[in-house]
Amino acid sequence: MELMRDLSRLMARSLMFLWFLVFALCDDVKGTAQCMCMPEHPQQQFCRSSFVVRGRIIGKVAHSDRDNGRTTMDVAPVDIDEGTTAYVVKVERIYKGEGVMGLQRHVEVMMMRRDKECALKRLRKGHVYIFTGNHDETGLYNIGTCDWVIEYSDLTKMQKQGVRYLYRQYCNTCEINLCFSGSCKQRSPTSCMWDVARIGYGDNHCEAKHSRCIRLGNGNCGWFNSFGFKGCYRNRALSQHNRVK
């Protein structure tokens, strides 16, 4: 009996230590977790955004400029919250949100971070980017931590075709659903299953770079892959094999 009581006390202490350890770990990673984004395919980001544009960075609006009532170009002044960076963008092409953008050719895009611990992506003056984001009731063009911002020169051929006209075509007919290895059975005839468990092997985001979800000839939705997908898939499989060896 005495032995059993000692074992019980030991187990209780072990459990208390385990709970403390878990709590400490959770507290330590809380800031990092707040900055993490669920994987999203460019087609998903295109469809959920109220505007998608190609634009060139021509300036950055500093807090001091706002405080002195000065603005850059012909953009109306707005308040910048802490943790927000405003860039002046020369719009070269509107892929989505023509009604939102109107005839403006110089706009401010507000890049906002979800939490003060999160880093904002730094954009370089003179470089051309694809911006996806949302236009709010105050007239601001907002880009969040998890929105798609990518230098235009880094787009694959499939992605360029997508933002021009092909992503929009399937926004209301097909949807991309995330899954993990072993549970990637198609949910419905309108779904394309994306196995995100494979992301991270050599940074080979093959579906995001070389695939789009389309309506097939049989009426169901499925992946359409470019010629680059096969090579990307092969390299990803090789990276995965080398990692687990």
SS3 189: coil
Instruction: Provide the number of structural domains found in the chain.
Output: 2
User: Do 145 and 114 form a contact (C-beta atoms < 8 A)?
Assistant: yes
**Interval 125-157: pLDDT, tens:** 999 999 999 988 878 888 888 899 999 999 999
Q: Is 217 exposed, middle or buried, given 0-12, 13-18 or 19+ CB atoms closer than 10 A?
A: exposed
144 & 193 share domain: no
pLDDT at 112 > cutoff 60: yes
Known binding-site residues equal 35
Nearest to 135 by CA among 211, 53, 51: 51
Report the range of poorest mean pLDDT among 57-66, 139-148, 160-169.
57-66
**pTM for the model:** 0.74
134 & 56 share domain: yes
**Interval 1-28: pLDDT, tens:** 444 444 444 333 333 333 233 333 333 3
Residue 42: phi and psi, rounded to 5, are -55, -35
Q: Hey, which bits of 42-172 come out as E strands?
A: 51-61, 84-96, 106-112, 128-135, 141-143, 149-151
Nearest to 109 by CA among 146, 156, 159, 58: 58
pLDDT at 68 > cutoff 60: no
**Which domain, by its residues, includes 118?**
42-63+76-151
Tokens found for residue 90 = 């020369």
Q: How far apart are CA 112 and CA 83, in angstroms?
A: 6
Contacts of 56 (CB under 8 A, 6+ apart): 89, 90, 92, 126, 127, 128, 129
55 & 134 share domain: yes
131 & 199 share domain: no
Last residue of a domain, one of 86, 120, 151: 151
Give the pLDDT score at 185. Answer: 85
139 & 188 share domain: no
138 & 184 share domain: no
Known binding-site residues for Zn(2+) equal 35
Residue 35 lies in a domain: no
50 & 95 share domain: yes
112 & 50 share domain: yes
Question: CATH number of the domain that 142 lies in?
Answer: 2.40.50.120
